[in-house]
Amino acid sequence: ERGHSLESIKASIEARKPDFDSYVDPQKQHADAVIEVLPTQLIPDDNERKVLRVRLVMKEGVKYFNPVYLFDEGSTVSWIPCGRKLSCS
């Protein structure tokens, strides 16, 4: 969209990895919450990478932090994804 090629974007990310490893990653151990954004595991051979997997990791015992649940705590959920859709009927 902004005139960058996929190769130049990947090269830019790779060039920043040493800084991430030195400065960002070590801070995770001190964080109250970490948000990870990764490629989906729901779509095999997903070359478009438009569907993402997001994980929120929260430290236990932090004052004023209440756990976040997608479903009620203790729920049992059974779900089979439908290919490129994120819901099934």
> What was the pLDDT predicted at 88?
60
Give the residue-averaged pLDDT of 43-65: 81
Q: pLDDT, tens digit, for every residue of 2-39? A: 788 888 988 999 999 999 999 999 999 999 989 998 87
Summary mean pLDDT of the chain: 82
The structure's pTM equals: 0.54
Dist. CA 88–CA 32, nearest whole Å = 34
> What was the pLDDT predicted at 69?
75
Give the least confident one: 6-20, 55-69, 70-84: 70-84
- From residue 67, give the alpha-carbon distance in Å to each of 30, 52, 87: 18, 22, 25
> What was the pLDDT predicted at 12?
92
